[in-house]
Amino acid sequence: MHNPSLHSLFWRGSLGAAAWLAGASFARAAYTSDPTPAISWPSPTEADFFKDLNGFPHYGAADHAVDLLTSGDSATWTFDVTAAGIDPASVIGFSVSFSVSLDTSALNKQDYYFDISTPITSGAVYPGTVLNHGAPAAGPFNNWSSVSPYMSFTPGSFPAILAVTGSASMIAPANGPADFIAVDSVTLSVTIAPPPPPTLYITNSSPGWMTIGWAPATAGYVLQSTDSLATPNWANEASASTNPVAVDGTAPARFYRLVKVP
């Protein structure tokens, strides 16, 4: 449940640092969360892990909740790519994007800094000049800034669980904790290497019969054949995607190929 006195403590810049120190119930970095992400697949080689943050029950776009950082606070959000069945070694690229907002206090935008880091990349710092002061003042904010720093890493070094840390700092905060940076959501997007195509093989099975199949037994492929390579007329075999399949070894010569289904 929303605490009206806490709302006033954070929102009204006139309260200042003295009022903050008097608020014994306040605890630094208490208003952060690390929810289980919603996972989606924009393509077979791209996965998105979306966290709708909920550490503080106000200002957020969808659920009216955010993670809230005052000067010197930090939060860490973790993403387990194996939860989506992804082998970390297959990750060849990734990005992290945030929906971020400043408070609406009198502090100048250039006095805010939002620092983003991970264990496998160099950090990125966003000054408040590229972020918006939250509006409308009563919330929920509808002018969130989207930031997505460039993330470069060595392929093969991606961890099973990636920890993403965001930190807030302000130069001479005017209102103590009334000056804050709100983070509405964090999204990890990963790109994975496509699996190598399977290899087609033909072996003797029993007298007069051959076995045709492919390995690994990757789904999404069909077997095609043609009588000639000079004037090919490729057509799906009756077996289609059956793997492996027995063919008559005494029949006239034919040529086979494996085709990925669109």
Break the chain into its structural domains and give their ranges: 4-192, 199-260
Classify 153 as helix, strand or coil.
coil
* pLDDT score of 113 more than 60: yes
Most confident of 34-43, 136-145, 216-225, 239-248: 34-43
**pLDDT (tens digit, 9 = 90+) per residue, 26-68?**
344 469 999 999 999 999 899 999 999 999 999 999 899 999 9
**pLDDT of the residue at 133:** 92
Q: Phi and psi (nearest 5°) for 22?
A: -75, -15
CATH 2.60.120.260 fits 4-192, yes or no: yes
**pLDDT of the residue at 37:** 98
User: Which helix (H) or strand (E) element contains residue 127?
Assistant: strand 121-127
Most confident of 45-59, 111-125, 239-253: 45-59
Q: Which of the four pLDDT bands, split at 50, 70 and 90, describes residue 181?
A: very high
Q: Under 8 Å CB-to-CB from 105, ≥6 apart: which residues?
A: 13, 174, 175, 178, 179
Q: Which of 236, 232, 227, 225 is nearest to 202 (CA)?
A: 225
Structure tokens at 2: 């929303």
The residue that leads in pLDDT, 96 or 173, is: 96
Cα 118 to Cα 99: distance, rounded to the nearest angstrom: 17
Q: Which of the four pLDDT bands, split at 50, 70 and 90, describes residue 5?
A: very low
Mean pLDDT, the chain, as a whole number? 84
**pLDDT of the residue at 131:** 93
**pLDDT of the residue at 196:** 84
Task: Give the mean pLDDT of 173-191.
Answer: 86
Q: Which of 54, 191, 71, 167 is nearest to 118 (CA)?
A: 167
Instruction: Record the pTM.
Output: 0.73
Most confident of 42-56, 135-149, 220-234, 245-259: 42-56
User: Which helix (H) or strand (E) element contains residue 4?
Assistant: helix 4-11
Q: Which of the four pLDDT bands, split at 50, 70 and 90, describes residue 74?
A: very high
Q: Which of 188, 72, 56, 187 is nearest to 134 (CA)?
A: 56
* pLDDT score of 128 more than 80: yes
Q: How many residues does the chain have?
A: 262
* pLDDT score of 25 more than 90: no
Q: Which of the four pLDDT bands, split at 50, 70 and 90, describes residue 171?
A: confident
* pLDDT score of 24 more than 60: no
Q: Which of 11, 112, 108 is nearest to 58 (CA)?
A: 11
